[in-house]
Structure 1
Amino acid sequence: MGLLTALGDPRISRHLLREEGEVIVDEVTHHWVAYVRPVAEGVLGVALLCTVPFARVEIAWLPLVLFLVLAVRATWGFLSERVDRFVITNMRVFRVHGVLNRQLSTMPLSRILDISVTKPLLGRLLGYGHFVFESAAQEQGLRDIRFVGRPDQRDLTIQRVVQRAGLRGPRV
């Protein structure tokens, strides 16, 4: 297992309460649009690297340095998007993110008061949106979940899990 593989795997299963019967209902990764910026930076870095043979000898180091900076930024951006996971279980929702320093934010289903789904025009065209969670505690790491693919279906999944857990009123 390589370093990049280890850094890019959030290991979701180790955060589950298996002995309590917790199971994953949905694991949400970022929509492909979230990777556009890191990939564009990587392509720009490679393009700069290709200019090195044509640069004057005195400044040939400049495209190399710019390539290294862009390569590091692209790799970091790609890894941070890849590690950022939003997980819906039968008991709670949680988010794991961070490349070197992992952060876990958890919210029991009973504390979810409101979910807003924002779909910008580009998101409507490409099939992504952003979640905004409201709970009794206003400052939490689960407030904004960005670049969620199929946001309407994911919202219905959360509503279904909350309903099945008996946390909302009975069905009429």
Structure 2
Amino acid sequence: MAGPLWRTFADPRIGRHLLREEGEVIVDEVHHHWVVYIRPALEMVLALALVVLGVFSRVDIAWLPWLVAIGISLHAGWRALTEHMDRFVITNMRVFRVRGVLSQRLATMPLGRILDISVEKPFRGRLLGYGHFVFESAAQEQGLRDIRYVGRPDERDLVIQRVVARAGLRGRATHTFDGR
């Protein structure tokens, strides 16, 4: 019984945000790159070290490292779950982001309002295969401005550009090579 409850709790349920009756389909669902889980994993290693320390410490204070280990483990689990629940979704009609564990926030931008997408790839990101999206739109403040730690950012940028082009929201470029 705990398995289905956990799957339900740890799933952002993207499908319920789709406009299925309008023909909206998911083109790409973007999870965070694995690099965001390094810090929670290191915290769990620290918690395990504190449990081992508690085993080999004096009996009268053995509870202290265990108590700290429980706190660190809970923090690491919460951070990992927060990263897992943060999803960026590209559909044939819009892009949206769902995030949050206990309460969820949804930020949506129709494809027609996307003016510019910048892909930032720091040195570490180039080595490990992640980058960050910065969206510019007609509205200055929105919940979709920064999407961080996107795996394969160049491929994902091309997906968005293809979807925008297929939707007919940008004029087609005409190239002439004869000087006209």
| 1:60 equivalenced with 2:53 (yes/no) | no
Cα offsets for 1:94-116 (capped at 9, x unmatched): 00000101111100001111111
The aligned residue for residue 127 of structure 1 is 129
- 1:78 alignment partner, one of 74, 77, 80: 80
What corresponds to 1:143 in structure 2? 145
**d(CA) in 1 for partners of 2:146 and 2:21?**
29
Residue number in structure 2 paired with 1:28: 30
1:81 and 1:117 map into 2 onto residues whose CA distance is 20
1:110 to 109, 112, 124: 112
Structure 2 Cα separation of the partners of residues 47 and 53 of structure 1: 10
TM-score (norm 1): 0.96
What does the per-residue CA deviation read over 1:149-171, in whole Å, with 9 as the maximum and x for residues that have no partner? 00000001101100111111123
Q: Secondary structure at the match of 2:32?
A: coil
Please give the alpha-carbon distance, in whole angstroms, between the structure 2 residues aligned to 1:62 and 1:4. 29
When structure 1 is superposed on structure 2, of 93-102 and 50-59 the one drifting more is: 50-59
AA matched with 1:92: R
**2:35 partner amino acid:** V
Instruction: Report what 1:16 is aligned to.
Output: 18
Gaps of 5+ in 1: none
* Distance in 2 of aligned mates of 1:134 and 1:59: 55
Give the one of 62, 72, 95 matched to 1:93: 95
Q: May I ask how many residue pairs the two structures share in their alignment?
A: 172
Larger-Rg structure: 2
1:33-68 Cα offsets, whole Å, 9 max, x none, are 011111111111111111112112332222111111
2:130 aligned partner, one-letter code = Y
8 Å CA contact 1:24, 1:90 repeated in 2: yes
